[in-house]
Structure 1
């Protein structure tokens, strides 16, 4: 303890009760442990054993949180050391931060964290990512001492300009930044109201309620169709322009000749992608295995563009690709990892010419087990550029003129091999999540034509299973040669705290997550199978997805939990993922396949590269999600006041999250918009309950929601409940057991007349 506790002193030598322990913990500036509490209360011998049981009971009741190294903190308190992001400056220029992993929509308003000056080096600045030590100064109030800056943030703000006297107001596009910025007329740099701009904050500058900034660059107009992807690109700091040296390297690249490569041009390899695909870097082929020792088995060939031939290690193209980490896809554009000369030409496996490739030949058994694998560097020519829809139609008996001649030599053997791979997948017990993808379809003028879930066929799954098999084979090939460095795709099992949260949510739906011994992917799949075909299937799938750990790249093999695989690499898309390029180089070196192998310098840096490309992947996912949300918001913006059928997908103390049936759009129903009452958050049953009326809203409940706000700047949708909810008649059940904090007031939306009893003074 940092200070002696009056309560502990007053009952020295006696076992405290739960209220006394909670008060002591809540007053502490840091998480405690059992020894701290025992020492403060002067407990010895059997009393310490009794304290241990009491603390365990309090944790089970949700009165306290337990953390790493058996630390104990107030319910909802932050850990002593954590990663923060500097997200605002106050009127005095003091930096304030929020937990880096905090999600306002799931976790509610972030705690207030004042960041003290760094003991070494320069003070942290806006948007810096820091590791800090926290001191608790009250409920949701902390001070943070900087340990070190992990990642400097961008020096510029992205926002929309609005007219103001003497200049303009900058409205940030990042919904986490709830402050606005004033820009003097002489600092506008030619920008006009309605422009999207990048602006530089002026430290300490302040004008009334606003910080001060100056415009450094005009990005475009908010009413232009390209605005939404531009916002996402600039908000995430995604590089767009290639340096001149990288472009020169790409333009100098030439098609390859056969030379020492394996000639694969007589094999009818085909690419199968979506109609809107922008790169074609993987091709597939299969045939029955003629080896009598493998009855019912198949031979598979997966050929991938030989990017390592063109992108030399530590050259300008390579450094540029590593910085980007991956390509980023938006409804109206793609930000490629490599220039178009490679991504759309020499490394695109189109049928119009010979292409250099890396290929893995695999032998699988009738039940989908991989028994043989080999890698080669080849020269191929695609037999056809096919799409998922056309291949599925052909397999179902509706081939077009191009696919008809390919049915027997190509399509049917592919599906036969796919059936074998499915048996292997089922035997492993993989996690079978239904992850519908929203497709934003744009009209010719760039506006949103319509939004709908992307159709998913067996042809999609066929390609996925072929790619998974090749990725496993790549990992096994590298391990067989004791490769100097292997970049694995790692997916660890869910953390205990996420599992507990999932169990609570499932319990609210009368579903039990049970596992005998070690938790396996098939335990989740069992729950998903039971929900399949019901109106709760998608919700439960989303809940299971949120429980899963984030997959990352790393040189240490920790397996892939979701796919139930002991080893797994990414090999199949080096044109859009830097991890795959590293795997190609490692295979070239391990199997002496010529130039373009993995140099020692890169092999020694795999841990650093893994962290880097894992971060760029998360950056790309966030950018793509942000852009889609803004397109959705724009699509909905002319339907303010309209009502939609939806379902409650999340329950928090500050409101309800709902998803619309029609478009899959997600939005928030603030608790303040619910009918007038005091609402309590029942975490166990995942519901909000009105204390006086008994009106309750529960997870998975169907509702009719009215659209109140569609903010295209931040990409947020706000709703209110038009119909829905149910009444809990038992008055005792209206305030959940163990809830001690103040309930949250509901009330009419702004501008509406208040209905119901007047607020009582307390």
Structure 2
């Protein structure tokens, strides 16, 4: 994470001042620089030109997609590989994803850290700092590069069975001894591990750990993508046990919201339900024509407590990763698709916000509360929209007047406020992948943009 530099003097800086700012910040995006110096209009265009010139002069380097940093510098935190050792025995590390001429840093030993010391080829997460003329790195966490494992395809020749990597950039293959190759077929997709090489030369030998499927099976594409992007798969036994040990909280310290008929509105193929909504006219005489809007979010913090096994593994995963045919969740399914999913008719812990809008769509008050809720109905966007458009079904018909119509009326009110604010509106066509029963891609279809989508979007924006 970049440091926050001292607030500079407002106005367009000269090149030396700009470089000094980046040197102190570590890295910054153009918008951050403009905000720090209070630049507007034409000054922002002049800043853009100055950044181009500094880049052309070799004094500035790109950091990520949008960031800038002084040339020859390193980010405050980075993923590195141990690449060399100095004559004094100190280890040198280099950024995994950095410029070819990015400087190396000396790995500083931490005497208080337990466990095996980093070795050549290890991948590490480190903090990076200047140290005199050079750079030093302090270990945050040792990362498992899992370089001994290979996801590959079986290729059978006359004299040997090979595992060739699915990653075309990886040129090293494994040879499977005849005694271990029984049952393997040409085109099998497998996970294999490398064995210690006998001698310095010759191909690596390996053994098959898991049979994934066939390379021509469309469902194998997700497995390949997971492996190539190093997406963590599954959960440790400790995390699974911790997740199964969770229970729905009681009302202690929570407001009882179960009388409020919340509904969830999600895509038809949604695997879980994170949020629910409800709206009703404000009966306060001081707010004629106003609306009360509730947004309820699954209270994940009720189950994932700081520094628990669940918390640490969720941090390592960062987010759930979705594929057309599967999902690799951030939390075990007993939580992600269970206690943290606002299922119809079941008590759920929630973090909710009650917002009051006046007749012009201006929010005049709000209140957050931790509560216990119970979803009244599970709806899809298409289902809710069809009901509003005059084609209710067995689920939406009974709740039209009490729940759905008030939601749309509240949205119409909120829309007045949105139009007055004139926020940035990005219209981009979203698509969904339709899978066939055998796992193939049957079609890639555009998702129709519905008013129901915009209703939920606006209520989530206001809640945030």
Asked if these proteins are the same fold (TM beyond 0.5), I'd say yes
Cα contact 1:271–1:280 (8 A) shared by 2 = yes
Counterpart in 1 of 2:121? 125
C-alpha displacement at 1:367, in angstroms?
A: 3.7
Q: Provide structure 2 residue ranges, at least 5 long, that are not aligned to the other structure.
A: 1-22, 24-48, 62-69, 85-91, 110-116
1:279 counterpart = 2:275 = no
Question: Which aligned pairs between 1:521-536 and structure 2 lie closer than 5 A?
Answer: none
C-alpha distance after superposition, 1:152-200 (max 9, x if no partner): 3513254323536645253342x6xx24103233399656653232545
1:337 counterpart = 2:330 = yes
Q: Partner of 2:173: helix, strand, or coil?
A: strand
C-alpha displacement at 1:440, in angstroms?
A: 1.4
C-alpha displacement at 1:359, in angstroms?
A: 1.9
CA RMSD of aligned residues (A): 4.2
> Equivalents in 2 of 1:187, 1:65: separation in Å?
55
Question: Which aligned pairs between 1:543-692 and structure 2 lie closer than 5 A?
Answer: none
Q: Report the count of equivalent residues.
A: 382
> Equivalents in 1 of 2:309, 2:426: separation in Å?
40
C-alpha displacement at 1:325, in angstroms?
A: 3.1
Cα contact 2:356–2:365 (8 A) shared by 1 = yes
The 1:227/1:58 distance shift into structure 2, 3 A limit, reads: closer
Choose which of 212, 218, 232 in structure 1 pairs with 2:210. Answer: 218
Q: Which moved more, 1:438-447 or 1:124-133?
A: 124-133
C-alpha displacement at 1:390, in angstroms?
A: 0.9
Question: Which aligned pairs between 1:268-417 and structure 2 lie closer than 5 A?
Answer: 268-417=261-410
Cα contact 1:187–1:214 (8 A) shared by 2 = no
TM-score normalised by L of structure 2: 0.68
C-alpha displacement at 1:303, in angstroms?
A: 1.9
> Equivalents in 2 of 1:125, 1:259: separation in Å?
52
The 1:252/1:97 distance shift into structure 2, 3 A limit, reads: closer
Q: Partner of 1:405: helix, strand, or coil?
A: helix
Counterpart in 2 of 1:155? 146
> Equivalents in 2 of 1:183, 1:202: separation in Å?
11
Question: Which aligned pairs between 1:68-79 and structure 2 lie closer than 5 A?
Answer: 79=72
> Equivalents in 2 of 1:409, 1:384: separation in Å?
12
C-alpha displacement at 1:284, in angstroms?
A: 0.5
The 1:257/1:67 distance shift into structure 2, 3 A limit, reads: closer
Choose which of 164, 168, 175 in structure 2 pairs with 1:170. Answer: 164
The 1:184/1:428 distance shift into structure 2, 3 A limit, reads: same
Counterpart in 1 of 2:177? 186
C-alpha distance after superposition, 1:247-278 (max 9, x if no partner): 33433444455566433233221110111011
Cα contact 1:84–1:132 (8 A) shared by 2 = no
Cα contact 1:168–1:183 (8 A) shared by 2 = yes
1:100 counterpart = 2:93 = no
Larger helix proportion, structure 1 or 2?
A: 1
Cα contact 2:160–2:178 (8 A) shared by 1 = no
Q: Partner of 1:181: helix, strand, or coil?
A: coil
The 1:207/1:280 distance shift into structure 2, 3 A limit, reads: same
> Equivalents in 1 of 2:384, 2:420: separation in Å?
27
> Equivalents in 2 of 1:447, 1:207: separation in Å?
42
> Equivalents in 2 of 1:224, 1:198: separation in Å?
19
> Equivalents in 1 of 2:222, 2:139: separation in Å?
29
Q: Provide structure 1 residue ranges, at least 5 long, that are not aligned to the other structure.
A: 1-30, 32-55, 69-76, 90-94, 102-109, 135-143, 472-762
> Equivalents in 2 of 1:264, 1:86: separation in Å?
51
Cα contact 2:432–2:445 (8 A) shared by 1 = yes
C-alpha distance after superposition, 1:116-165 (max 9, x if no partner): 9868675552665678899xxxxxxxxx9874567635132543235366
> Equivalents in 1 of 2:100, 2:216: separation in Å?
35
